[in-house]
Amino acid sequence: MSGSEPAGAAAAGGDAREQEPAVEAVDPAVAGRLDAPTRAVLEDAGWRRLHPVTPVLRAWKIVAAVLAFAVVQNGDELLRIDVEAWLLALLVLGGLLVLAVVGAVYSAIAWRRTRYRVDAEAVRVERGVLWRQQRSAQLDRLQAVDVVRPLLGRLFGLAELRLEVAGGSGSKVSLAYLREEEAQRVRNALLAAAAGLRLDDAGGGDLSAPEAPQRPVVHVPPGRLVAATLRSASTVLVVLAAVALVVGSVAARSTTPLVAALPGAVGAVSAVWQRFSRGFNFTVAHSPDGMRLTHGLLELRSQTLPPGRVQALRITQPLLWRRPGWWRVQVNVAGYAVGPGEAGQEATTVLPVGTEEELAQVLAIVLPALGASGPGPEAALALVHDGLTGRDEQGGYTPVPRSARWLDPVSWRRDGYRVTEHAFLARGGRLVRRLDVVPHARTQSLGIAQGPLQRRLGLASVALHSTSGPVKPRVEHLAAPVAARLLVEQAGRARAARAAAGPERWMSGDADG
C-alpha cells in the first residue's frame, strides 16, 4: 500500500486506458514473486476489458433460457396451434433468431460498457447499460476467489472470475468471461496483492513462479463419490418414493400417479446428480495463498480460500456412511451467500466425502492452529476424534445432564462441548453424527436461550453466532449454571483471541492463520 506509481506512468496501455490521476498501482515489491504477465496485471493500474466472445455466450444463455421456459410452460399449446407445420417451424426459428440478435446486440453494448481494473486498494468494476454501476471491492476484505468454467465456456476456453468480499448477499464481484489464462493470472495477482506479500519478506523465493506453489493433499476418487452418493439420504428417499409410486400405480391399475409424480422425480434425480457432478474429481490442495479446491464434472470450479477466512467448520456423517467411515466437511465463509438451494452448498463444501485421514489433512489446512499438540494432521485428528464418535465425557467433553433425555431422547449422550486453546468444539447427533468447530477469533456474538420445558428441567442452550453458511454452532440442553459460565467465559476467550488475531493481509506480518 506504500508504493506510489501513478497509472499514467505504468506500462503501455490498450485502447481502453484512460488517464485518471488518483490511482495507485500495486506496490512493485508485492508483485515481485510473480511471473512477468501476472506482474503486469498489478503494475498496470489501467482499465481492462472482458473477453470479446462474452456477448455471444450471454446471448446464447438468453435464447436457451427463453427456449427452455417456452417448452416447459407452453409445449402443448404450441403444438395445438392451428397452422401448417412448416409455417410454425419458420415462426419459431424466426422468433429465436430475432431473440438471439437482440440478445447479442444488448450483450455487446453491455460488454463495451464493462471494464475492470486492479489497483493498490481494490478491484474496481464498472458495468450496466441504462443503470450504471461502479463497484470497488477492497483487497484486504477479500474472502475467497473462484475461477468457474461452465461447460459452454470450456468450449471457448473462457472462465468466470468471482470474488467474495463479505458484504452480504449480492456483494460478489463477477468478471465473466475472461480467457482461462487471463482469469488465473488475475486471480494470482489479486491473491498476491491481497496477501500483501513483499519481495523482501519472501526471502528471495522463486521469482518466476507463476503462482503460489500448491501441494495436492486430498483427491476424492470417482468410485467413492458414486458409492457415497448412492448411500446418501436423498438417494434412499428417491428409491423409496419410486417403489411406493410403482406399487401404488399397480394397485390402482392406473398410471396417473406416475405422471403426476414426474416433475418431482425429475427434481429429485437432478438434485442427486448435482451433488455427484459438483463433487466429481474433488481435489484439495494447500498453497501459501490458502486452500485451493478444484472440482466439477461439466462445470469446473477452482476455489481459493485464503488463510483465516474460514469462520466455522462442520463435520458430518450420515447414517449410511458409518460403515465405510466417511465424513463430509462444510465451512462458513463470509460472502459465500448461502440460500436454501444448491448454489450455497456447492461453494461451502470443502470435502464431499473423505476418510478420517483425509479429514485430518483438510483440518490441518483449514485451521492450522487447531491441534492441541501443534500443527499437522495427526494433532488435528487426535483433537477431533473423540468429537466425531465419542459420547458422555469421553475426550474431555462437557456433557449435558441426564435430564436432557426428556428433550433429546435419541442423541443426548452425544450432545456436549469442549474448549481448546484456539477453538470451540460442539458435538451432537447420534444418527447423523456432527461436530462443529469455531475458532475463538471468529465468533461474532453469543446467545443463550431457554424455553419453558428447559427451565423446568434446569437446562439452557448456548449458540455461537457465525457468518451465514451451513454451520450453525449450538449446544442444546446444557445444565443452566454450566451454560451461564460458558457464555461468560466464551465471551472472554473470543475477546482475547480477537485482540491477538493476525492481520487481514495474511503475509504482510506474522499471521498465524
Contacts with other proteins by CB under 8 A lie at: 141, 143, 166, 311, 334, 442, 444-453, 455-456, 460, 463, 465-468, 472, 480-481, 483-484, 487-488, 491, 494-495, 498, 501, 504
Q: Which helix (H) or strand (E) holds 40?
A: helix 36-43
Of residues 35, 300, 61, the one with CA closest to residue 180: 300
In the bound complex, what is the minimum distance in angstroms from residue 370's beta carbon to other proteins?
18
Residues 367/389, Cβ–Cβ less than 8 Å: no
In the bound complex, what is the minimum distance in angstroms from residue 481's beta carbon to other proteins?
6
Give the burial class of 323: count Cβ atoms within 10 A of its Cβ; 0-12 exposed, 13-18 middle, 19 or more buried: exposed
Quick one: 146 or 160, whose CB is closer to other proteins? 146
CB count, 10 Å around CB of 455?
11
In the bound complex, what is the minimum distance in angstroms from residue 473's beta carbon to other proteins?
10
Quick one: 153 or 399, whose CB is closer to other proteins? 399
C-alpha distances in angstroms, 324 versus 231, 327, 356, 362?
10, 9, 10, 19
Quick one: 116 or 336, whose CB is closer to other proteins? 336
In the bound complex, what is the minimum distance in angstroms from residue 446's beta carbon to other proteins?
4
Quick one: 59 or 166, whose CB is closer to other proteins? 166
In the bound complex, what is the minimum distance in angstroms from residue 417's beta carbon to other proteins?
15
Quick one: 269 or 480, whose CB is closer to other proteins? 480
In the bound complex, what is the minimum distance in angstroms from residue 202's beta carbon to other proteins?
23
List, in order, residues 6 or more apart from 129 with CB less than 8 Å away. Answer: 106, 109, 110, 113
What sign does the CA torsion over 52, 53, 54, 60 have? positive
Nearest 5°: CA angle at 173, between 172 and 178?
Answer: 135
Residues 388/317, Cβ–Cβ less than 8 Å: yes
Quick one: 23 or 482, whose CB is closer to other proteins? 482
Give the burial class of 52: count Cβ atoms within 10 A of its Cβ; 0-12 exposed, 13-18 middle, 19 or more buried: exposed
In the bound complex, what is the minimum distance in angstroms from residue 452's beta carbon to other proteins?
4
Quick one: 402 or 498, whose CB is closer to other proteins? 498
Cell numbers found for residue 344: 450455497
Distance in angstroms (rounded) separating the CA atoms of residues 87 and 335: 50
